[in-house]
Amino acid sequence: MSYSKQDLVALQQFYANQLLNNTVPFWFPRSFDKEHGGYLLMRDADGSLIDDDKAVWIQGRATWLLSTLYNTVEQKAEWLEGAKLGYNFLNQYCFDTDGQMFFHVTRDGKPIRKRRYFFSETFYVIAAAAYAKASGDASAAAAARMVFGECIAYASGEKKLAPKFTNTRPSKGIGVPMIMMNTAQQLRETIGDERCDEWISKWIDEIETFFVKDDIRCVMEQVAPDGSIIDHIDGRTLNPGHAIEGAWFILHEARHRNNDPHLIALGCKMLDYMWERGWDTKYGGILYYRDVYNKPVQEYWHDMKFWWPHNEAIIATLLAYLMTGNEKYAHWHQQVHEYAYKHFPDATNGEWYGYLHRDGTIAQTAKGNLFKGPFHLPRQEWYCNQILKDYIK
Amino acid sequence: MSYSKQDLVALQQFYANQLLNNTVPFWFPRSFDKEHGGYLLMRDADGSLIDDDKAVWIQGRATWLLSTLYNTVEQKAEWLEGAKLGYNFLNQYCFDTDGQMFFHVTRDGKPIRKRRYFFSETFYVIAAAAYAKASGDASAAAAARMVFGECIAYASGEKKLAPKFTNTRPSKGIGVPMIMMNTAQQLRETIGDERCDEWISKWIDEIETFFVKDDIRCVMEQVAPDGSIIDHIDGRTLNPGHAIEGAWFILHEARHRNNDPHLIALGCKMLDYMWERGWDTKYGGILYYRDVYNKPVQEYWHDMKFWWPHNEAIIATLLAYLMTGNEKYAHWHQQVHEYAYKHFPDATNGEWYGYLHRDGTIAQTAKGNLFKGPFHLPRQEWYCNQILKDYIK
């Protein structure tokens, strides 16, 4: 199958409509916390608040979303004012005295938990950069660049975080080069930063050299420092939705580089490998974890269907189709789009449920919690809308 | 309904037969690691090894099981020699230089991970105490007493482990008084220790005062230091199988104290409250997590059926029935026994699967991993066999 121009126009209108008339209105304006700043995002299906705590990742991601909508869709005062609430809350309450960021704070910004990762920091960078572009606030741009520098220091090993494991069996994850690549892409596209191109090339090289295994058609989630597979439960665990997210970050980079053919081929094969391993041929949808050798994984909930791998797969398949014209990708896009928009949306209250059993039934009803909020779904709808507009104009 | 003496005899024979002809032979002797000591327990359904790493909790628990079988069932040389393998491995490889124990080590005992809990230590205490009784090794008895002293220091707050959370919202969990009570019971019943009775009374008092909520018929998994409910996602999360395990620890203590009526009432109401919240009236079985106010819990896999809550519920309902004669408990015991022995066993290879979807289908096939091994199932079959023998003699 292939998509006609008319099909693409219909898809673009569908995503734009979902984004602006369903997904974003579920969250905003009601989640703006005008009393303490930031956002109240931990909500049940009907929008009622489950918890007034604030997850720092999600505060940053929501600030990014509101700023990005303002920058690219419409200069709505509500979005800019909303982004400012998040940006100020992050600055005021989410940094520890040692410069590291917290993971989880109370409604009024008291720290609950700090984790041994720097993902709060990467989401801060995209939030501050997008907000800087939206507001013209030069201090936000400076803050984004400064924290990006910290992230580079962590990612390159120049700065160390407290380790969770001993050095007995060293490993590295694909998560770090992936998130750093996307953080740099966002920084480059909002306020620009001359460090980005070179680092993006290094991180792509890292992914290609160490994590992409052509012989077994697989993208590893973690490997030994030399790229070999660690044949233990954790080392064998694959996260297909995550690798597919990495695939579209690389396709996005290929577009930025005038459709660089090597990067198109790399992104497409990462998608191919992990679609083969992740797509559930029995029930449809993307399985959460797989073992590289089909052994049992540690995580007993490995076969659940989470919302976000479907968002990433919708983007990756659409982008692969638009960039290559390969009908396989149109077919996959249609499959994952239809599965996702059939099983995840809440027809009554808008937005998506986050967690389905393998068979597609709803496992729990929260729209927002420590890990879910206004990010993967609106980003997918926004990104697909943007890219389709480019291709159909 | 009630159980006739004949029914109880049949149950006793059933549990003894399962234990000795199904569960224990799945694990031993093949899991003895004669090369490096300890046990190779991370196995798939058919017994094939998934991973040769060693989880310290499970190494301790398996040492306890083998020693306990030797002490109470039959003085088989294989069990004593097997217990020695585990006891020596724990001593040789599982303590860090600071005296704390690791959580996860390689086959040859190199440390992979240490966690900010002292559960490795509590399982060491029951392993060393049971092994000391089996072997007559006085140094094992001394080691059990010494590490029990460390555990008391952690449990009472005299010694601190690195905190995972800030002090913004202090909480305490039922897990500490529960595991300490059971550790002390095991120590008392194997080698004896004069500290046990007083501490057990304190831990039961802690559970009764702070965690058991008669007004809402609930046993909390964690509370604020004053016992109030922390109305946030984590604070509201209940673990019915865990609370039911606590219920039978208290019933066990009631038996030790000549059927102390106050403790019988306490154990039975804990069971009542959490059966009401945990039993799945739609599919049968014990749900893993519930929210105290029926809101969504953070853990998306909350409605899965794990093996061990069923082991704990089988013990608790049987013990409650035997101690009170209340027919409700015979009915519940029959329900959970039938559900569990219908859905969890692997008819081909023996032992139980660990992880079912809510509807009772198998979610993954591992018999052993970082958290599952020869403990809850054989302990249940062993305990039920022992107690039934007492009641039918």
Q: What would the pLDDT profile of A133-163 be if each residue is shown by its tens digit?
A: 999 999 999 999 999 999 999 999 999 888 8
Rounded Cα gap, residues A145 and A195, in angstroms: 10
Backbone phi, psi, residue A37, to 5°: 85, 170
Please tell me whether residues B356 and B313 are part of one structural domain: yes
Whether residue A113 and residue B165 make contact (CB cut-off 8 A), yes or no, is yes
pTM of the model: 0.96
Q: What is the pLDDT of residues A359-370, one digit of tens each?
A: 999 999 999 999
Please tell me whether residues A178 and A130 are part of one structural domain: no
Please tell me whether residues A197 and A327 are part of one structural domain: yes
Q: What distance in Å separates residue B5's CA from the closest CA in chain A?
A: 39
Please tell me whether residues B118 and B261 are part of one structural domain: no
Please tell me whether residues A151 and A41 are part of one structural domain: yes
Whether residue A168 and residue B42 make contact (CB cut-off 8 A), yes or no, is no
Residue B301 in contact with residue B288, Cβ under 8 Å?
Answer: yes
Residue A112 domain boundaries? 37-46+53-164
What is the reported pLDDT for A116? Answer: 86
* Average pLDDT of the segment spanning B22-49: 98
Q: Given B50, B297, B355, which is nearest A300 (Cβ)?
A: B355
Which residue is closest to B49 within chain A, CA to CA? Answer: A295
pLDDT of B393 higher than 90 = no
- Percent of all residues in chain A with a pLDDT value above 70, rounded to a whole number: 100
* Average pLDDT of the segment spanning B188-212: 98
CATH number of the CATH domain containing A20: 1.50.10.10
Nearest one of A35, A86, A90, A29 to A63, comparing CA atoms: A86
Q: What is the pLDDT of residues B377-386, one digit of tens each?
A: 999 999 999 9
Picking from A109, A137, A164, the residue at the C-terminal end of a domain is: A164
Rounded Cα gap, residues B359 and B337, in angstroms: 17
Please tell me whether residues B357 and B246 are part of one structural domain: yes
Q: What is the pLDDT of residues A302-356, one digit of tens each?
A: 999 999 999 999 999 999 999 999 999 999 999 999 999 999 999 999 999 999 9
What is the reported pLDDT for A93? Answer: 98
Q: What distance in Å separates residue A116's CA from the closest CA in chain B?
A: 10
The answer to which of A125-129, B35-39, B114-118, B139-143 has the lowest mean pLDDT is B114-118
Q: What distance in Å separates residue A313's CA from the closest CA in chain B?
A: 21
Picking from A164, A181, A207, the residue at the C-terminal end of a domain is: A164
Picking from A164, A182, A208, the residue at the C-terminal end of a domain is: A164
Q: H helices of chain A, where? A: 5-18, 24-27, 56-72, 77-93, 119-135, 138-156, 175-190, 196-206, 233-236, 240-256, 261-278, 307-324, 327-343, 376-392
Mean residue pLDDT of chain B comes to 97
Please tell me whether residues B247 and B185 are part of one structural domain: yes
Cβ contacts of B96 within 8 Å, gap of 6 or more: B102, B111, B114
Mean residue pLDDT of chain A comes to 97
Whether residue B296 and residue A357 make contact (CB cut-off 8 A), yes or no, is no
Whether residue A300 and residue B296 make contact (CB cut-off 8 A), yes or no, is no
Whether residue B364 and residue A304 make contact (CB cut-off 8 A), yes or no, is no
Residue B125's H or E segment, with its range, is helix B119-135
Total number of domains constituting chain B: 2
CA atoms within 13 A on the CB side of B34: 5
Please tell me whether residues A106 and A176 are part of one structural domain: no
Q: What is the CA radius of gyration of chain B?
A: 20
Q: What is the pLDDT of residues A50-64, one digit of tens each?
A: 999 999 999 999 999
Please tell me whether residues B12 and B116 are part of one structural domain: no
Please tell me whether residues A142 and A227 are part of one structural domain: no
Whether residue A166 and residue B106 make contact (CB cut-off 8 A), yes or no, is no
Q: What is the pLDDT of residues A214-256, one digit of tens each?
A: 999 999 999 999 999 999 999 999 999 999 999 999 999 999 9
What is the reported pLDDT for B165? Answer: 86
Please tell me whether residues A178 and A282 are part of one structural domain: yes
Nearest one of B369, B339, B373, B371 to B356, comparing CA atoms: B339
- Taking CB atoms and an 8 Å cutoff, what residues of chain A touch B303? 363-364
Rounded Cα gap, residues B286 and B239, in angstroms: 10
Please tell me whether residues A153 and A204 are part of one structural domain: no
Among B51, B303, B349, which would you mutate to test the A interface (most chain A Cβ atoms within 10 Å of its Cβ)? B51
Whether residue B232 and residue A295 make contact (CB cut-off 8 A), yes or no, is no
What is the reported pLDDT for B333? Answer: 98
Which residue is closest to A363 within chain B, CA to CA? Answer: B300
